[in-house]
Amino acid sequence: MNRTDFAIDVTGVTKRFGSKTVVNAIALQVRRGEIYGFLGPNGSGKTTFIRMLCGLLTPDGGTGTCLGYDLRTQQAEIKRHVGYMTQKFSYYEDLSIRENLDFIARIYDVPDRTAAVRRSLERLGLENRSHQLAGQLSGGWKQRLALAACLIHSPQLLLLDEPTAGVDPKARREFWDEIHGLAATGLTVLITTHYMDEAERCHRLAYLAYGNLLTHGTLQEVLHGSPLSTWSVSGPNLRPLAVALRTKPGVEQVVAFGNTLHVSGRDAAALEKTISVARDAQHEWKQISAGLEDVFISLMDSAKDNFA
């Protein structure tokens, strides 16, 4: 694959704050037109990494490009071609939707600003609310306004930092339908999320914990690359069984999923030995494929806290 096929192409990117390394030598390539899911616990360095990609922070180490522009020396050019949606709603709550979009269009010096604002309102279904103050909007409508503002200058790359946090399931689904529609037109999207169902809608995934990139690839590559062995158990009185299992050899996770437990560990032999002892006539055990949440929790548990 040609290097120009990558919207993001970085190697060894590092960021330190004082003595703490919050992003540690990350190498990442994101193809143009791809939806790339960026996952990890709070404080893992995801937002810091995104801010380096969009030119708001300068890396302390490493090299690379974003949309073909150098991460260190061409930050102004990167900003002109990237749309960045922050975790916190960052628009003026005492301005209307239309006024907020017009203001953002002014910042980017968008040609024919009036027409650009109208197109943004139409694209995100905001026409009927265009005169409503941003501060009066629900979480889902604020999300639409933020996405419209990110798109008004026709960026080539969207960086979305937990855009659906606190948004209801219907609004989340509509948001993702919009993201897939944008990607189909060739727009590249890097999105951070804590929702496993959203992660599964991405073309590829990366998992970051305590500043380190622990795994990346397609959903199937991430799942198949995990050494995690997982069993499902169903039957009565699962709570006391879960408590007893958590202290046994080979058991790293015991998680309730509806009327079943998922019991997981990376030492398959030790886990099977524990299960053979725990089996009884009341409970049904079967080995299953590890889910994305199982894999990511295992990765997080095995990672070293850089603030410890």
Give 273-286 pLDDT, tens digit per residue. 999 999 999 999 99
- pLDDT of the residue at 305: 66
Please determine, for residue 164, whether its predicted confidence score (pLDDT) is greater than 60. yes
Enclosing domain of residue 115: 3-223
How is residue 41 written in tokens?
């616990």
Contacts of 97 (CB under 8 A, 6+ apart): 121, 126, 129, 130, 131, 132, 134, 137, 145, 148
From residue 194, give the alpha-carbon distance in Å to each of 143, 152, 197, 207.
16, 27, 9, 11
| Closest to 29 measured CA to CA, from 6, 3, 51 | 6
Same domain, 68 and 124: yes
The dihedrals phi and psi of 10, each to the nearest 5 degrees, come to -130, 150
Number of structural domains in the chain: 2
Same domain, 237 and 193: no
- pLDDT of the residue at 151: 94
**How much is the pTM?**
0.89
Same domain, 251 and 275: yes
In a domain, 308, yes or no: no
Please determine, for residue 222, whether its predicted confidence score (pLDDT) is greater than 80. yes
- Taking the CA atoms of the chain, what radius of gyration do you get in angstroms? 22
- pLDDT of the residue at 301: 79
- pLDDT of the residue at 88: 84
Please determine, for residue 1, whether its predicted confidence score (pLDDT) is greater than 60. no
- pLDDT of the residue at 89: 82
Same domain, 11 and 81: yes
Residue 306: pLDDT band with limits 50, 70, 90: low
- pLDDT of the residue at 168: 85
| Over residues 28-51, mean pLDDT | 93
- pLDDT of the residue at 248: 95
| Over residues 211-225, mean pLDDT | 93
From residue 261, give the alpha-carbon distance in Å to each of 121, 241, 256, 267, 294.
46, 9, 4, 18, 12
Same domain, 232 and 218: no
Residue 139: pLDDT band with limits 50, 70, 90: confident
Same domain, 168 and 143: yes
- pLDDT of the residue at 3: 59
Average pLDDT of the chain to the nearest whole number: 92
| Over residues 235-261, mean pLDDT | 93
| Over residues 243-266, mean pLDDT | 93
Same domain, 254 and 236: yes
Residue 2: pLDDT band with limits 50, 70, 90: low
In a domain, 303, yes or no: no
Same domain, 19 and 156: yes
From residue 286, give the alpha-carbon distance in Å to each of 129, 263, 289.
52, 10, 10
| Over residues 3-7, mean pLDDT | 81
Residue 297: pLDDT band with limits 50, 70, 90: confident
In a domain, 42, yes or no: yes
Same domain, 153 and 259: no
- pLDDT of the residue at 41: 87
| Closest to 13 measured CA to CA, from 213, 188, 308 | 213
Residue 95: pLDDT band with limits 50, 70, 90: very high
Please determine, for residue 171, whether its predicted confidence score (pLDDT) is greater than 90. no
Residue 296: pLDDT band with limits 50, 70, 90: confident
| Over residues 222-244, mean pLDDT | 93
| Over residues 67-86, mean pLDDT | 94
- pLDDT of the residue at 308: 54
The CATH number assigned to the domain holding 259 equals 3.30.70.920
